[in-house]
A and B are shown apart, each in its own frame.
Chain A
Amino acid sequence: MEEILSQDNSCLAPEELKQEILHKYPVKIARKRAKQIIINKVNDNDVPEIQANVRTIPGIISQRGCCYAGCKGVVLGPTRDIINLTHGPIGCGFYSWLTRRNQTMPKNEKDHNFMTYCFSTDMQEEQIIFGGEKKLKAAIQEAYDIFKPKAIAIFSTCPVGLIGDDVHSVAREMKAKLGINIFAFSCEGYKGVSQSAGHHIANNGIFTHVIGKDDTIREGDYKINLLGEYNIGGDAFEIERLFEKCGITLISTFSGNSSIDQFANAHTADLNLIMCHRSINYVGDMMEKKYGIPWLKINFIGAEATAKSLRKIAQYYGDEKLIDKVESVITEEMPFVEKAINEIKPKTSGKRAMLFVGGSRAHHYQELFKELGMGTISAGYEFAHRDDYEGRKVLPNIVVDADSRNIEELNILPDETRYRPRKNEETIEELKVHGVPIKDYEGMMPTMDENSMIIDDISQYETEKLIEFYKPDIFCAGIKEKYIVQKFGIPMKQLHSYDYGGPYAGFKGAVNFYKEIDRMVNSKVWKYLKAPWQIKTELVAKYVWE
């Protein structure tokens, strides 16, 4: 990978580029950004410290969204049978309506599916002045009368917090009145510094109001929950297929292709798998503490990563039958992957990618690019915390600032009757020694190359600079960045919505991704940027055939 990094950018060493970028900023801003732009140095798994999860500087044009987007959009959005009611003016509800591409598959035609609907109290000036609780109550009643849902979740937007509507007491009151599960989230957009605060609030809410409400023990061996997989473009379907093939029983997914009943039963599983570390690691921790279920960070993005993750699960259970089954599934699936990679890799090898997405994807997708022989020269997250970059070992050293303090931390104690450690400490230690890192995540930076550039909360201006200097072969980000990058003549892959492609998880997904990247980096389009007369500009004085 070293040569991929040094290719072309011999003109400017990463440190010089960093200085060049900072140069443009007002001094105070430069000082702050300097801590968020890091040149990677990996030494025995030790990496430099990066500043993350801090406020976005007003006016720098960041990629970030808000708390509400994290809570309603990311975590609760994919659950089909909850009525997600946005309490606020119309915009927030409108923009989070169907735009995240979470696919879902109701069991039958009668099964509830509210994903295609957008529910809002559409607050008007009158409610801003006199309070919106009355309208909220009436809206819940109307939603109940028309749709008869099992559960209603209420999401507060910016003005709701300001005018002081008590959404939680409204939820309690209506829950008592209607006899269905109703709960609220104080996820006003201004909370925290990014979507991340919303993930946290969402998870706390589900933990408090839903998980553990149904003690039915379901049939099946190797019961797991999959956390932090949101079924963009059908990823969860592909992962579900693999679990089924391996004989692993999926109790619940948080929250791709999910239903609220599955959340209620989640505590009966024996292992939690964590896909997107950022958005949901709390649930893993809380379920550990309350019910004794350990968690394991996995990654189903990339064929190698998928195989590795399946093996880790098998090792966790330590059951020969499962270990053999997993091996035979991998053997069965891999030829399809190898065939594709043999065809495609020669065309993608040596190309260079940049990834600025989310709070885990910028790490996960590097594995896929590696399989294509591509290097990642620069990466960063939109709303990660230090542990996503540097690994969980830094958790004790993270300074809690005012913005994080505003997000409630639940105080979790072992459940009096249902706490049952699935593995004792010794076994867990032993598993760790054997390469099954229970309750651990090493972070993105240790797996990235020396000298690659890590940027937290990248700005529009920095994006432009990076592209000008490195001229990457592909850039991965979100919709807001897409057409900016493409105007430079560089293909841009959306990794939040997958650009309406996918699935990219698991073995079949990996092959989809190989093909997609091949299509993008080798597209003929980019050759046509200049017209013939722009390449050869001299004038001919007469008609050639004269």
Chain B
Amino acid sequence: MLLRHTTDKIVERHALTVNPAKTCQPIGAMYASLGIRGCIPHSHGSQGCYAYHRSTLTRHYKEPVIAATSSFTEGSSVFGGQANLIQAIDNLFTIYSPEVIAVHTTCLSETIGDDIPQIVKKAEAEGKIPKGKYIIHTNTPSYVGSHVTGFSNMTKSMVDYLSQGNGHKEKCINIIPGFVEPSDMEEIKRITSELGIKSIVFPDTSNVLNGPMTGKYKMFPKGGVTVEDLKKTGCSIGTLALGRLASGAAARALDTKCKVPCELLDLPIGLEATDTFIDTLRQVAGVHVPDSINIERGQLLDIICDMHQYFYGKKVGLVGDPDQLISLSKFLISIDMWPVHIVTGTPGKKFEKRIREITKDSPYKVNVKQSGDMFLFHQWIKNEPVDLLIGNTYVKYIARDEDIPFVRFGFPILDRVGHSFFPTVGYRGGMRLLEKILDALLDRKDRDSSETEFELVM
């Protein structure tokens, strides 16, 4: 047993987190920044944080993850990091010439209270920011929220710093895709253009963190939303924010700043959430849904009908981020599976309420917790076993110990590929998710059936 000390006896814990189901804000901010073309994310703090964040993102995406740091030492921690940040800005523009430097704080610089806008102003006054180049920033104290909060904060900063309205509206829709994979952002763009809609997707990590192998390294790949487009977001006719937690703040900021109205939707994971996404797109843009999309929808539905017997009544345990878990739970219920244990590490009471609503018809007692950890999740499973686990790579220890089929989904996935290339959003994404779930369930059935029962056709 790899988690041999986890027993079924649940005791209340108030102070100790064991096997967290979240991580800290800056990594989310770093990920969002990478979705701007020509951007270097910059971590204002000691170099350990950025090394950890880069390593984790690299392990997840298996792609270069570029970022810089202010490299605080003891002195900077006492006297403040102004000198470090100004030097970093100078070096970054001189050596790497990015279009944008996106600064986020760490718990260190937050605790000492460094005032980033003031430091940036000073850098500007000292001529350290070349003409036409930008510095944006966000505050990401890691003792508040989680990596999702960091993503949300940096995305909002893109609006705060760059979006501009000029009074007249372009026939264009902003889409904030949420903390999802590059492949998902790509799929969202594809669906939108399939509908004949012009869109600006931000942040956009497709072609940045799922780039090709060419024999040439480019520090700034072709992907990412351009600064030009970010500016134009203020002139779009509306904004769709996918995932309330990760995308809501930026959408609302855009409404306040440039009077671009917004609509907050669930992440388009699964049949119903995708239906809502496409229906909303259709209505706000006044377009018809093309047959190509209807075919995709029909294909997804077809798989659900064909394989329903294998989904029906199965109990599932889920660990992940709130936006993902909400849509995923809805999807599972729509195919008659029952999520029974649902944990997110990210704080937010609304999450529990939402999940309760979604699972209200469940024949089982549903365990749900925000600010929870995987130790508790595992204990729940020991008390009420499930047929399937869905979560990030760390869940594999539970899956092995308890011998439960497991589908990797969420962040981080450190031990498999595919997530950055093949989407799980949209109808096609739904098809892929179902394929994975079926593979896991049917492989188990194959493994467990007796020689007599072993079937060729399933």
Contact = CB atoms under 8 A, between A and B. Distances in A.
A139 B375 CA distance: 14
25 contacts: A25-B94, A56-B71, A59-B68, A60-B91, A60-B95, A66-B47, A91-B26, A91-B142, A92-B48, A93-B20, A95-B56, A117-B19, A138-B15, A139-B15, A142-B11, A146-B13, A158-B46, A189-B49, A192-B73, A460-B96, A478-B55, A479-B55, A487-B64, A487-B211, A488-B216
Interface string A50-75: 00000111111111111111000000
Nearest to B141: A125
Contact of A116 (B56, B87, B397): B397
Given A25-B94, A57-B71, A158-B106, A190 B46 contact: yes
A99 B72 CA distance: 24
Nearest to B13: A142
Contact of A66 (B49, B89, B94, B146): B49
Interface in A498-546: 529-530
Q: What class of interface size applies to chain A in its complex with B?
A: 35 or more
Given A142-B15, A480-B55, A487-B214, A66 B92 contact: no
Nearest to A24: B95
A13 interface: no
Given A138-B16, A159-B108, A406-B74, A68 B216 contact: no
Contacts of A57: 71, 87, 91
Interface string A94-118: 1111110000000001001110111
A93 B373 CA distance: 13
B70 A58 contact: yes
Contacts of B27: 91
A125 B144 contact: yes
A26 B94 CA distance: 7
B3 A116 contact: yes
Contact of A484 (B20, B87, B217): B217
Contacts of B90: 26, 59
A478 B107 CA distance: 25
Interface of A: 24-26, 29, 55-69, 85, 88-99, 109, 112-114, 116-125, 127-128, 135-139, 141-143, 145-147, 157-159, 161-163, 188-194, 402-403, 406, 459-461, 464, 478-480, 482-489, 529-530
B160 interface: no
Given A24-B95, A190-B73, A489-B215, 17 more contacts: A56-B47, A62-B69, A92-B52, A94-B20, A112-B5, A113-B4, A116-B2, A117-B375, A118-B18, A118-B19, A128-B107, A128-B111, A161-B77, A189-B47, A189-B49, A464-B217, A487-B213
A112 B84 CA distance: 44
Contacts of B91: 25-26, 29, 57-60
B312 interface: no
A115 B66 CA distance: 30
B143 interface: yes
Contacts of B65: 480
A89 B4 contact: no
Contact of B143 (A60, A64, A159): A159
Contact of A88 (B3, B74, B107, B414): B107
Interface string B246-272: 000000000000000000000000000
Interface string B428-452: 0000000000000000000000000
B106 A128 contact: no
A68 B23 contact: no
Most B CB within 10 A of own CB, among A57, A60, A147: A60
B297 interface: no
B73 A403 contact: yes
A142 B20 contact: no
Most B CB within 10 A of own CB, among A57, A61, A119, A159: A61
A143 B51 contact: no
B73 A119 contact: no
A476 to B, nearest CB: 16
Contact of A461 (B55, B96, B110): B96
A158 B45 contact: yes
B51 A529 contact: no
Most A CB within 10 A of own CB, among B17, B63, B90, B110: B17
Contacts of B215: 487-489, 529-530
B58 interface: yes
A139 B16 contact: yes
A145 B73 CA distance: 37
Contacts of A478: 55
B52 A91 contact: yes
B22 interface: yes
B367 interface: no
A67 B48 contact: yes
B22 to A, nearest CB: 6
Interface of B: 1-5, 11, 13-20, 22-27, 42, 45-49, 51-56, 58-59, 62-77, 84-85, 87-92, 94-96, 106-108, 110-112, 141-144, 146, 211, 213-218, 345, 375, 394, 397, 414
Contact of B112 (A59, A123, A162): A162
A460 B58 CA distance: 15
B58 A486 contact: no
Most B CB within 10 A of own CB, among A157, A189, A194: A189
Contact of B48 (A146, A189, A486): A189
Given A65-B52, A66-B47, A122-B20, A487 B216 contact: yes
Q: Which 8 A-B pairs have the closest CB atoms?
A: A66-B48, A91-B24, A59-B88, A59-B91, A138-B15, A95-B52, A58-B88, A529-B215
A25 B64 CA distance: 23
B69 A58 contact: yes
A482 to B, nearest CB: 7
A242 to B, nearest CB: 28
B70 A64 contact: no
A173 to B, nearest CB: 15
A460 B66 contact: yes
Given A69-B52, A146-B11, A189 B46 contact: yes
B3 A193 contact: no
A145 B18 contact: no
A483 B47 contact: no
A243 to B, nearest CB: 27
Contacts of A529: 213-215
B142 A89 contact: yes
A158 B108 contact: yes
B71 A55 contact: yes
B76 A190 contact: yes
Contact of B85 (A58, A85, A482): A58
A90 B59 contact: no
Contact of B16 (A97, A121, A403): A121
A28 B72 CA distance: 18
A163 B48 contact: no
A460 B220 CA distance: 13
Contacts of A189: 45-49, 108
A124 B144 contact: yes
A116 B395 CA distance: 11
B62 A483 contact: yes
Contact of B77 (A121, A139, A141, A162): A162
A86 to B, nearest CB: 9
Given A94-B24, A116-B2, A484 B64 contact: yes
Contact of B14 (A138, A403, A461): A138
A463 to B, nearest CB: 10
Contacts of B15: 121, 135-139, 141-142
Contacts of B2: 113, 116
A275 to B, nearest CB: 23
B51 A69 contact: yes
A191 B85 contact: no
